[in-house]
Amino acid sequence: MKLHRIAATDAHAWTLAPVVFHRIERFCSAYPTEFDAHAMVNQVKMLFMAESPLLGLWAADDADGLVHGHMLAMYDPGRRIAFIYQQEVDKDVPTAIRDECTDALVAWGTACGARALEAVTWHNPRFLARRGFHVYRTIVRRSLIDG
């Protein structure tokens, strides 16, 4: 199993992108009061096609090309925060790939110049603490730079 950044400049990403877009829509549809599924997918597709650095999108796939997880994050330059919208990883994904997913988010957020990564609570608190995140009431936050 490998983690791939979904970027329009990568040929392999074009085979994974439709599946990831569908996973994003399915995830959003499960929370209709929080997300407009069609609007989210359209925004992701627009940023993907524009090769925008504001979009952080990854997929974990196996040797057969089956997607077993995806991550979606977007950078808000005004607030200098990278917000993790989705990190949906199937149960069969090894811990090493889960760690790689988090490392990819941190590296991307740092490259964007984000001060912090934030998300609605996901994973378990011990995993998050090992990866440098702090759990607040409903928000998970990891500072990336001082200031």
The residues spanned by each domain of the chain are: 2-143
Taking only the tens place, the pLDDT of each residue in 84-125 is: 888 888 888 888 888 898 899 999 999 999 999 998 766 677
Q: State the distance between the two ends of the chain, measured CA to CA, in whole angstroms.
A: 37
pLDDT of residue 146: 65
pLDDT of 40 over the 70 cut: yes
* Helix H or strand E segment including 118: strand 116-120
**pTM for this model (two decimals):** 0.86
**CATH class of the domain at 2-143:** alpha beta
**Cα–Cα dist 60/77, whole Å:** 27
* Helix H or strand E segment including 42: helix 37-49
**DSSP helix/strand/coil, 115:** coil
